[in-house]
Structures are given as structure tokens and as C-alpha cells.
Chains A and B, each alone.
Chain A
Amino acid sequence: MAIVRKPRGLGGRQPLVKLRNPRKALDERLRSRINRAPSPLISRAIPWLSVLFLSLTPFAPIIASAPVMPPFAFMALLAWRMLRPGMLPVWAGAPLGAFDDLYSGQPFGSAILLWSAAMLVMDIVDVRLRWRGFLQDWALAAALIAGYLALAAILANLTGGATPLRALLPQFALSLVLHPLITRAIAGLDRLRLIPVSRVTR
């Protein structure tokens, strides 16, 4: 049986300009699809960079007179951890937390401790719970965020001030609502992370 070949292999619409040199066009189209892998640098760096970037929220054009903004960087860390377990190492909480402490106004060390603890808790939870689901992840994130906000406030109170924990309720409510959105955004970043850009040479 004769194999009927289309003249230009790939089918579909092709820009006319490229058809002037069909062989080269074919070559380019093939090359842009195969033999490509995500850049290891980008795919490794994006989780770190995104959390670091969100640690800079104090510089956002909002000057708040109350703690209302959700802890975006911590939520992004949780989202990465839930979306891609093992992508960020267990110890990632310490360096990322140190950077966050520089800007967050918390006593230095508070995020180092709490973020490391959160990563460890996530690991324990992964062992205990044999199944993962949207609602379960959300509930887990809610528990971790509530614990994080409360403990962070207690640590801040140790260095001065006496903020009652109920002042955190609006912030917690907002974080709770925003968690799926942040997970969504992180999932978007995850796709960006895995775009095949660099040529595989071997």
C-alpha cells in the first residue's frame, strides 16, 4: 500500500513567507517542536524567585495602617509545596523566610522558624494523608495560614506591642479566600516554568 504523503509534511496553515523556502520552513517548524527541553535554570529558579518577589509586597503601592494584606509569600510557598512536592527542598523555608523577614517587619527569625516548620508539617501531612484533593488542600492551607498568622503575631508581640489575636481575623479571612487564586497563579507560573525553550544537544 502506497503511503500518501502530503507535500509539506506538517499540514495546517503555514505563513506564506516561510513557504518561499519550504525546506527551511519545515526545518524550523520541526525544530521548534521537538528536541526542546525546559531550561533547567528557569525551571529551578521560578519557584524561588516567585516567593522572593512576593516577599516584597510591603513595597506595593498600598500603605496599610492595619495588617490586612494576606501573607502572599508564605501562601505562594505553600502553593508550590502542594502543587509540586519536592520541587522546593524541605529546607527552603529558612532562606526564603530570612529574605521575608528583612521586609515584613516581623522580628528577624520569625519567618525562618515558621516557614521551616510549615515545610516540615507539610511533609508529615504528606505521609499521613494518602490522598490529595482540592478541598483537603484548601483546608490544610487554611490551618497552616491560621497557625502562621497567630504565631507570627505572638512573636511580634514578644518584641513589643500587644496586638489581640482577633485583629488578625480580617487578614485570615482574606487569605482563606485568596488561597485558590494564588494556587491558580502559581500553577500558571508552573506552566511558564516548563516551557521548552532550550535546545537539547547531545
Chain B
Amino acid sequence: MPPPNDRRPGFSRKAQLGIFTGYVAAILGALAGVVLIVLAILDNGSFAFLRRGAAEAMAPVGAAGTVARTGSRSFFQRIGDYFDAADKNAALRREVQIARVQQIRMRALAAENRRLKTLLGVVDRASPPVATTRLVASTSASTRRFAVIGAGANQGVAVRMPVRTALGLVGRVLEVGPNTARVLLVTDGENVVPLRRARDGIAAFSEGLADGRLRLRLIDVGVNPLKRGDVFVTSGSGGIYQPGIPVAQVESLTPDGAIARILSDPAASEFVIVDRVFQELPDPAATPAPAGSAAP
């Protein structure tokens, strides 16, 4: 099939000019894109107002989508559950027995902890979550990992607040609109989270790899003590995340750390919890945390 020849419109001056103007407009558009990108690189927060408005307008669509997502997921899961149900049943029974023993032990530890804390006079800073909401959108084609949650300034959400599910950390709030907020997911390459190994507190920090996994780097350089299956939780340093939120599980080792899988896949969770910032900086307004450097 030959292409239609609509580029040579004969002798019509008007049509020729129209085509010429089209090219000029296209090239100007591309140049405008270059300028806008430079602006966006210089200041990550630029155009945030546009994105806020856009997200606000589309949030109801996303909320409806959430219901469909969790609905369809449970449907397929239910079918999958029929396979090897017996094995699963036995495994679960074993797990429950172990968990019961552990629960008793934990209760004893918690009681002891409470007693020791009252001895020390430490105030428990467990505060209620700011908001419980839904993930209404997530960037799906871009290598940057952002999500939009259905709560914003009206619900008390503020920039830097950590977002988590019952299973683990999801990310932190980056931009806030009236009823939506943009979340920088843990898996984004820009998000650096200070972590420690749950078992013994070996300190590390994570960087997103943008493919659903994290790169863990140990702070103490030396022999790599990590093993597959190690669970990392937030360490609380940096002051954004409360200590002890589960984040990732080691999948494979690298010379200076590990590659880890995140524990709370945002796709699997219908609701997310927005927490308060663990410890406010003395004066956050003076240095409005640029999205890049403020992570740890």
C-alpha cells in the first residue's frame, strides 16, 4: 500500500502554508518539551499544581478501579486456592501451632517491655494513623514509581508522611492536594529508606530498582553477613518512618548488600494507612525537603 500523498497539496498557497505551520508548531512543541524537562530536572516540585489538579479530577475513577482490582484478585485467588488445598491446610495448621506458642512468648515480652518502659519513663509514641485510604493510581509505564492515594490535605495528610499497609511499607507522601496525595513508592529509584535487619539490627539502606525490588546497601562495609530470607524493617533513623515497619526480604546477595523483594506489594492491598511523620524536623519549613535528598 503506498502512503497517501497529502504532503504536496498542489498549488494551493493556503494548504502549503498550513503544512508549513504544522511543522513549525511540532518543532516548537518539541522545544517546549525540552525546556519543561530542564525545569523539571532543576526543581522536581515544579508543575506539582498541574499534577495535583489532574489527580483530583480523576480520583473517583481510580477509587472505582480499586474495588474492581481487589474483587478480581480475590476471584482468581479463590480458584487458585482449590489447588493443593490439602497441603496448604496441613502447612497452615503447623503454622498456627507455632504461632500460638510465639504469641504466648510475645505477650510475655510485651508485658516485660511495658514494665521496663514505665521504669524508664519512656512515653510510648504510638499515635493513631492520619488516614486510612485507597491507592487510586500508580504509574504503570514509567520507570518512576509514583502512586496516588485518595486522601489529601482535607484528611490531614502532609508531605513526608509514611504510607504503609498492614503488611509493610509502601512509600512516603510527596505532593499533597486537597483530596489526593502523590506517594513516592519504596521501589522508586529516588526513595532511600534507612533499614535494619529485623533479627539483629544490622543497619542498611534501600534504593528502589524500579522493577518491584530493592537494592540493600549495608552501612558497615566488610564481610556480607546477609542471607537469603532475611527480613528488613525500618530503623527509624532519618525521622520519617517509625522503626519496625517491615519493608523487604532478601532475595539474592550482592558484594555490598543484597537485592530484596518488597513485602507489601501495593497491588495486593486495598487499603493503605498514612502515618504521622515519626519525628518532625525542628524546622521543616526552612528547608522544604527536595524530593531527592531528604529521604534518609
Residues of A within 8 A of B (CB): 56-72, 85-86, 89-91, 93-95, 97, 102-114, 116-117, 119-120, 123, 126-127, 129-133, 152-153, 155-163, 167-168, 171
Contact = CB atoms under 8 A, between A and B. Distances in A.
Nearest to B290: A160
B12 interface: no
13 contacts: A59-B58, A60-B140, A61-B68, A67-B141, A85-B3, A90-B23, A91-B25, A91-B26, A94-B29, A94-B33, A109-B36, A131-B2, A163-B211
B250 interface: no
B37 A163 contact: no
A119 B3 contact: no
B1 A67 contact: no
A161 B212 CA distance: 14
Contacts of A129: 3
Contact of B44 (A112, A131, A133, A159): A159
Interface string B9-30: 0000000000000110111111
B40 A109 contact: yes
Interface of B: 1-4, 6-7, 22-23, 25-30, 32-41, 44, 46-47, 50-51, 54-55, 58, 61-62, 65-69, 72, 135-148, 185, 187-190, 207-212, 262, 265-267, 291-292
A108 B137 contact: no
Contacts of A159: 40-41, 44, 144, 190
Contact of A103 (B3, B6, B58): B58
Contact of B29 (A69, A112, A158, A171): A112
B189 A162 contact: yes
Contacts of B65: 59-61
B144 A89 contact: no
Contacts of B4: 85-86
Contacts of B291: 160
B34 to A, nearest CB: 6
A4 B85 CA distance: 76
B262 A160 contact: no
B141 A72 contact: yes
Contacts of B1: 131-133
Contacts of B141: 57, 67, 69-72, 104, 171
Contacts of A89: 22, 25-26
Among A66, A161, A163, chain B packs the most CB atoms within 10 A around the CB of A161
Contacts of A116: 26-27, 29-30, 33
Contact of A61 (B25, B46, B66, B185): B66
Contacts of B46: 108
Nearest to A100: B141
Which 5 residue pairs across A and B have the least CB separation, nearest first? A161-B189, A109-B36, A94-B29, A113-B33, A105-B139
B40 A163 contact: no
B208 A109 contact: no
A104 B139 CA distance: 6
Given A62-B69, A63-B266, A156-B143, A120 B30 contact: yes
Nearest to A111: B33
Contact of A94 (B30, B266, B267): B30
Contacts of B2: 130-132
Given A117-B30, A153-B143, A160 B54 contact: no
A65 B262 contact: yes
Contacts of A105: 139, 142, 144-146
A160 B187 CA distance: 12
A160 B292 contact: yes
B93 to A, nearest CB: 32
B37 A110 contact: yes
Given A66-B212, A67-B141, A157-B189, 5 more contacts: A58-B137, A63-B69, A63-B138, A64-B139, A66-B211
